[in-house]
Structure 1
Amino acid sequence: MSVRYAVYLAPPCDSALWRFGSAVVGYDADSGQDCPAPDLAGFTPEDWRPLTEEPRRYGFHGTLKAPFRLAEGVDEADLIEALSAFAAGHHGFELPPLEVRELGSFIALVPSAPVPSLLDMAACAVEDLDGLRAPLTEAEIARRRPDRLSARQQDYLNRFGYPYVREEFRFHMTLTGPLEEPARGHAANALAEAYLASGAHLPLLVDGVALFAQRASGERFRIIHRAGFGG
Structure 2
Amino acid sequence: MFERYAIYHTFEGPLATHGAAWLGWDIAAGQTVQHPEIKGIDLAKLTERPRKYGLHATFKAPFHLADGIREGDLSHAFKGLCAAHAPITLAALTLSQIGRFFALTCDGDDSALKSLAAQTVQSLDPFRAPLSDDVLQRRRSQRLSERQKANLAQWGYPHVMEDFKFHVTLTGNIKDQLHTPVKAMLHSHFAQTLPIPYTLDTLTLAGQDNDGRFREILREPLKG
Pair in the same fold by TM > 0.5? yes
User: Alpha carbons of 1:158 and 1:186: their partners in 2 closer, same or farther (altered >3 Å)?
Assistant: same
Amino acid at match of 2:222: F
Alignment of 1:142-181 (within 5 A): 142-181=137-176
Gaps (5+ residues) in structure 2?
none
Asked if the contact 1:79/1:132 (under 8 Å) is kept, the reply is yes
Matched, 1:208 2:202: yes
Q: Distance in 1 between matches of 2:189 and 2:142?
A: 38
Q: Which residue of the other structure, out of 128, 131, 134, is the alignment partner of 2:126?
A: 131
Question: Following superposition, which runs of at least 4 residues in structure 1 exceed 6 angstroms of deviation?
Answer: none
- Once the two structures are superposed, residues 111-149 of structure 1 have per-residue CA deviations (whole angstroms, 9 ceiling, x without a partner) of 122232212101110111111100001232244244521
Asked if the contact 2:94/2:194 (under 8 Å) is kept, the reply is no
TM (norm. structure 2) is: 0.93
Asked if the contact 2:105/2:167 (under 8 Å) is kept, the reply is yes
Q: Distance in 1 between matches of 2:16 and 2:68?
A: 34
TM (norm. structure 1) is: 0.90
Give 1:199's aligned residue: 193
Q: Distance in 1 between matches of 2:130 and 2:83?
A: 26
Alignment of 1:40-59 (within 5 A): 40=38, 42-43=39-40, 47-59=42-54
Amino acid at match of 1:111: C
Q: Distance in 1 between matches of 2:30 and 2:142?
A: 36
User: Identity percentage over the alignment?
Assistant: 37
Instruction: Give the C-alpha shift of residue 185 in structure 1.
Output: 2.7
**Equivalent residues, number:** 223
Instruction: Give the C-alpha shift of residue 164 in structure 1.
Output: 0.4
Matched, 1:109 2:104: yes
Aligned-partner SS, 1:63: strand
Q: Distance in 2 between matches of 1:92 and 1:34?
A: 30
Amino acid at match of 2:200: V
Asked if the contact 1:146/1:154 (under 8 Å) is kept, the reply is no
- Once the two structures are superposed, residues 168-215 of structure 1 have per-residue CA deviations (whole angstroms, 9 ceiling, x without a partner) of 11110000011111112321122023211x333433322220011012
Give 1:35's aligned residue: 33
Instruction: Give the C-alpha shift of residue 3 in structure 1.
Output: 1.2
Of the structure 1 ranges 177-186 and 55-64, higher mean CA displacement relative to structure 2 is found in 177-186
Of the structure 1 ranges 199-208 and 131-140, higher mean CA displacement relative to structure 2 is found in 199-208
Asked if the contact 1:5/1:67 (under 8 Å) is kept, the reply is yes
Matched, 1:20 2:31: no
User: Alpha carbons of 1:87 and 1:72: their partners in 2 closer, same or farther (altered >3 Å)?
Assistant: same
Q: Distance in 1 between matches of 2:48 and 2:142?
A: 26
Gaps (5+ residues) in structure 1?
none
Of the structure 1 ranges 100-109 and 184-193, higher mean CA displacement relative to structure 2 is found in 184-193
Q: Distance in 1 between matches of 2:137 and 2:109?
A: 32
Give 2:11's aligned residue: 11
Aligned-partner SS, 1:91: coil
Asked if the contact 2:8/2:59 (under 8 Å) is kept, the reply is yes
Amino acid at match of 1:33: Q
Of the structure 1 ranges 137-146 and 16-25, higher mean CA displacement relative to structure 2 is found in 137-146
Asked if the contact 1:39/1:194 (under 8 Å) is kept, the reply is no
